[in-house]
Structures are given as structure tokens and as C-alpha cells.
Amino acid sequence: MDSGIGLLAAAAAVRRLRPDADLVLSSDPDGMPWGPRSADDVTGRALDCARAAAEHRPDALIVACNTATVHALPALRAAFEPGLPVVGTVPAIKPAAADGGEVAIWATPATTGSAYQRGLIAEFGNGARVTEVPCPGLADAVQSGDTAAVAAAVEAAAALTPPGVRAVVLGCTHYELVADRIAAAVPGAGLHGSADAVAAQALRRIGPAGPGAGSGRIEVLLNGRPAALPAQALAYAEGASLVTPATA
């Protein structure tokens, strides 16, 4: 679940690990972006997305959104666990800072400088020099598939990124969909997203005693309503990878 197509990165990562997995993609296009909303509003919308997904009896729920994880994870876990494992998304600061050096965290303006992110830096920064880089408009540009706006937002964020950074943390799930463009804008820096780790954690929570093979289907819920995968999702490799003969 996510406000929009940022969930594609985690969904594609699950599909790589479990090609047979049946996926339910639940998002809130009527309410996105979530970043500028109040904590209570984000929590309410995240619960609505989760309830819509839960009707399909999933084996785990991935909160594929940094903003929702910050504001809504306790409420989601209170509502659904232990029956439904809930896995949040945390910026990959720990692996990015593991070797020290200089690290940049690209995130939404609402997350940049927040107590939440500063706490993660203090806990997992490993003494690295960390620069927080706000990326206004980047998530919206990714969501709409506006390549010119993506390029402009990436260029602006790259200009705020210190030269010679060793690692860039992608602190919004939407950013992972344009990782190639970010890498080109910050040459020499390794990129650290969360999707692979989140997918692996979700499958660990299900455990070896989890369900048998599925058929690789996807079901898309837009504000709780069944729908097709949005056209802009197919413009990204992660979205295209989910379209199989079974899903078609």
C-alpha cells in the first residue's frame, strides 16, 4: 500500500523473490500526495488503504511509503497484527553509512529535517557526514510520469548534493522508480533504496510455513475500487515487470 505508484518498487522486489506471489496493490490517488497532510489524515488514509487490501486476505501487508510508516505504522499494527504481519519502510541509512564517508538522503520536503529522519541518522549514521536533501516535486513528477518534471527535480536535488558523496539514500519509495536518472545526476555515488529489504522482511514474516504457490496475479485497488494498473505505472520497469500473461 502507498499513496500512489511508489509501491511498485516493493511489489517488483517481492515478485523477483517469489515469482508466484499474488499481489494486491492498494493506493490512494484521490488523496495523494500524503507528505503535506497531517499525521492524523495520513493515518486515516493509510488505514483505509490497508482495510481495502485486507479484504483480499493477504498474508502480509507492506507499507510501501515512508510517510505512512512515519505516521501510521503503530495504528496499522494495532489494527491488523498479529493476524496480518505489517512491514514498514525505513530509509536505508544504516547500509549507506556502514563504511562512513559522506552520505546524502534525498527525501520529500516534509521528511527532510524531521525529528523522525534526524533520529534515524543519529541511530544508524555510524558517524558519517550526512546531508539531508529536500526534493520538492519529485514524487509528484514520478507519479504523473512527467519526464521533464522528473529531470528538473532531479537536477535541483543534485545541485544541493555535496560533490563527492559516496552514497545517496532514496528516502521516498517513488524515487526508486527513477533510480537510473538519479544515479546519472550523482555520478560515483551508490544508491540505497528500501524495496529489496522490505520485500525480504515481508517474506520472512510469512515464513516457510506460509502459503503455497500462487499464480502471479495482481489486483489493483484505487481508493478501494478494483481497477487496472495505471498507465503511468507501465512507463517504469518495475510496473512493466508486474504485467504477466496471468495478470493480463
Q: Which residues are catalytic?
A: 65, 172
Asked if 201 contacts 60 with a C-beta cutoff of 8 angstroms, the reply is no
Rounded to the nearest 10 degrees, what angle do helices 39-54 and 66-80 cross at? 60
In this structure, the number of other CB atoms found within 10 A of the CB of residue 205 comes to 17
Selection from 81, 94, 83, 43 nearest residue 65 by Cα: 43
Selection from 141, 140, 173 nearest residue 2 by Cα: 173
Asked if 85 contacts 63 with a C-beta cutoff of 8 angstroms, the reply is no
**What are residue 82's phi and psi, to 5 degrees?**
-85, -5
Instruction: Give the Å distances, CA to CA, from 244 to 6, 19, 171, 219, 241.
Output: 20, 10, 29, 12, 7
In angstroms, the CA 177 to CA 174 distance is 6
In angstroms, the CA 181 to CA 163 distance is 17
In this structure, the number of other CB atoms found within 10 A of the CB of residue 243 comes to 13
Instruction: Give the Å distances, CA to CA, from 179 to 107, 165, 187.
Output: 13, 16, 12
